[in-house]
Amino acid sequence: MTTTKRSPCAYSGEGSAIADYFRQEKQPSLPTKKEENWGLFNNNNSQHKRILATLRTANIVVKNEKWGEVADMEGWFNQFLKSNKSPVNKPLKKMTSLEVSKIIKALDGVAIWKNSI
């Protein structure tokens, strides 16, 4: 068994000196920029509702305490829109009707593929 050598330190605090010696050093947290969710949708837009339905058909869902299973808009769909596999690399709310129809066509292909396995 190999151990990482640490320099000796004086005990300060409560509890065991051994527990104090072996406690994890706190890593400085790097400032992270909150990523924009490209999967945000307008519930009144029929094309956006179609995307939700297609994701559920393809079984691309996540658990939700209130609604049970919902389409994975924050995870899979968000990453899909940002990837090179997406026909349009823009946030969903900033797309035109024609661009959204391209996304729907691509998701229809994903649903067919996932249901054929």
pLDDT of residue 117: 80
Does residue 67 sit within a domain?
A: yes
Does residue 89 sit within a domain?
A: yes
Q: How confident is the model at residue 18 (pLDDT cuts 50, 70, 90)?
A: low
d(CA 56, CA 98): 22
| Neighbour-count burial of 45, counting CB atoms closer than 10 A to its CB (0-12 exposed, 13-18 middle, 19+ buried) | middle
Does residue 18 sit within a domain?
A: no
Average pLDDT value over all residues in the chain? 85
pTM: 0.69
**Domains: count for the chain:** 1
Q: Which domain holds residue 98?
A: 46-116
Does residue 22 sit within a domain?
A: no
Is the separation of the CB atoms in 93 and 41 below 8 Å? yes
Does residue 19 sit within a domain?
A: no
